[in-house]
Structure 1
Amino acid sequence: MLADIQPSLQELLDKAGGIWGIVIEDLTTGEQLVWNEQRPFYAASLIKVPIMAAVFAEVYNGNRSFADTCLLRQEDLVGGAGVLQHMTPGTAFTLWDLTTLMIIQSDNTATNILIDLLGKERIRQMIQQLGMTNSQFHHKLMIVPAKAEGSNEVSAAGMAALFRQLSKGQILSYHSCQQMIAILKKQQLRDCLPYYLPEPDHPVIGGLPLWELANKTGMVRHIQHDVGILYLGQHAILIAMLSQNVEARLARETIGRTGKLLFDHYRQS
């Protein structure tokens, strides 16, 4: 049972200190472990997942095509994660490319282009439609106005609601959810939940991987998050871990140790 790991997880959290918001859920049985799941945290790059859902909604409703292109402008370039900030202004990128870069490289420039394309209100509507409790969107990434109306925030419960619906094909369409999960599985930022896991690749070409993870990280000063679905054999485990006021290295280690704790638990079951 999932409850069997609670003492070990509590020990990890006590060692790390700080503030944590957590939802861990066996998506097959519905069993959960939760800590401060409704507490809002600064979203950092976790806000990019509902933005992805809003992009897919535009395509699903026929308002856009993933083949549509946007020109990269000098004024779009912002720092932080991602490669677009190093690309040549005037280059055209498809909506699919921008969405993929926003997730797998956490590209802030791609994110801001998509925010301009969608509009803030459309993203807010998507957050509400997804039932993301204690979650809100107000500003672009790496650009916070001097008179910002609020901060981008999410809760562990809100992120869990999003990923749970993705896992069950309940956002837009089954195919849309398949595509979004496939993008999340290509995540290149792997220094949290999967950090202590063994190599996933099968030694024989074409063999099934030992595990897969569809996840999205988020990090700024004093903030470290990772949310995803760990696929292990016939098991699918939703893990939402949000942290604040934990030293960055220790926060990443705690999230990674939790991933390994769950991996070991489900490998034995």
Structure 2
Amino acid sequence: MNLQQKLESVLSESSGTFGVAVKHMGTGEEAQIRAEQYFQMASTFKVPILAALFRDADAGLVSLEQRYRLSEADLVPGSGVLKEFLPGAEVALKDLATLMIIVSDNLATDKVLEIIGKERVEAYMRELGLTQISIKHDCWELLSIGAGMAGEKKGAEGFRKLTESFQTSGFDPDSFIFQASPENNVATPADMGRLLELIGTGKLASEQASDGVLDIMKRQQLRNRIPYLLPDETIIACKSGTVGHVVNDVGIVYLSDDKGAFAIAALSSGNPSVKEGERVIARLAQTAYEHFVQE
């Protein structure tokens, strides 16, 4: 079987709806499934944010060493560690970016977006020719809309109310955020794959900017999707995302025996459980890895 057939075979056992784009960045061999369909990005939208941040740092518009004081007004529920810190902690911009990726810190993400500007991230995607990546909500907005609490103000009280809502009710499965609309944080697997390829081949604002993005993504600590079934020594630069029935992971996998690297974007919806979505993504990555290594 060719790569396309192998990936389709994996997805034939899935209950969710998956969009996949896989491409070997050396040979150009690729396979795509629903690659032009919009999917909610969940926390994979933090990759475009990271790319825009390093573009701005490369241009001297921001300093990665600048420290920012965090307050109760910055609190965001969900993944991450900064929400557990006492108010008043001062964190460097690069550390915020690192936490945004390696532990998917939502507070760090919204702080970075506040600093560089949400609109600038989407504008940068357009500059790169990626017209099918839309970023309309920060983490707070995404979570509050998904919980049926749109317009809830940030701060200690809003944080408490939103956290309690998730503990009791979770996400509204009929929420607007799950609609495949450019008015949401959506992307096609094809465009997400192209962004990964630009990062992996040093073609962001500069090779230095690309390397900065890769360096952080390679430090990923959440490894239960793309990395899960790959050899332990495999170098992987990735970013996962989950919101409700959406289970995603996108990244660059470096092959053994100097056989290059491939980009993989796996976005999904309608998963009956997070674990099932994770299992499918792990098998997709394993299938692509084994295919390219055996070439």
Moved over 6 A (4+): none
Structure 2 counterpart of 1:179, one-letter code? G
Instruction: Say if 1:39 and 1:134, in contact at 8 Å, map to a contact too.
Output: no
2:281 corresponds to 1:255: yes
Instruction: Say if 1:27 and 1:236, in contact at 8 Å, map to a contact too.
Output: yes
Quick one: distance in 2 between partners of 1:12 and 1:246? 15
Unaligned runs of 5+ in 2: 152-175, 177-181
Instruction: Say if 2:19 and 2:37, in contact at 8 Å, map to a contact too.
Output: yes
Deviations 1:54-111 (A, max 9, x none): 1112211112111111111111111111100101111110011001110111100000
SS of the residue corresponding to residue 21 of structure 1 reads: strand
Instruction: Say if 1:133 and 1:155, in contact at 8 Å, map to a contact too.
Output: no
Quick one: distance in 2 between partners of 1:53 and 1:7? 32
Quick one: distance in 2 between partners of 1:168 and 1:58? 19
For normalisation by structure 1, the TM-score amounts to 0.90
Unaligned runs of 5+ in 1: 201-210
SS of the residue corresponding to residue 199 of structure 1 reads: coil
SS of the residue corresponding to residue 35 of structure 2 reads: coil
Taking only the aligned residue pairs, the percentage that are identical comes to 34
Instruction: Say if 1:130 and 1:161, in contact at 8 Å, map to a contact too.
Output: no
Quick one: distance in 2 between partners of 1:249 and 1:187? 19
1:206 matched residue in structure 2: none
2:105 is matched with which residue: 104, 107, 110? 107
2:123 matched residue in structure 1: 125
2:213 corresponds to 1:213: no
Deviations 1:174-227 (A, max 9, x none): 111111111111111111011112321xxxxxxxxxx21111111111101111
1:196 matched residue in structure 2: 229
Structure 1 counterpart of 2:8, one-letter code? Q
1:205 matched residue in structure 2: none
2:31 is matched with which residue: 15, 30, 33? 33
Deviations 1:134-189 (A, max 9, x none): 22111110334637993111110111111111111110111111111111111111
2:218 matched residue in structure 1: 185
Moved more, 45-54 or 143-152: 143-152
Instruction: Say if 1:85 and 1:109, in contact at 8 Å, map to a contact too.
Output: yes
Query: How far did 1:21 drift?
Result: 1.1
1:243 is matched with which residue: 262, 265, 268? 268
Instruction: Say if 1:216 and 1:226, in contact at 8 Å, map to a contact too.
Output: yes
1:45 matched residue in structure 2: 43
Query: How many pairs does the alignment contain?
Result: 257
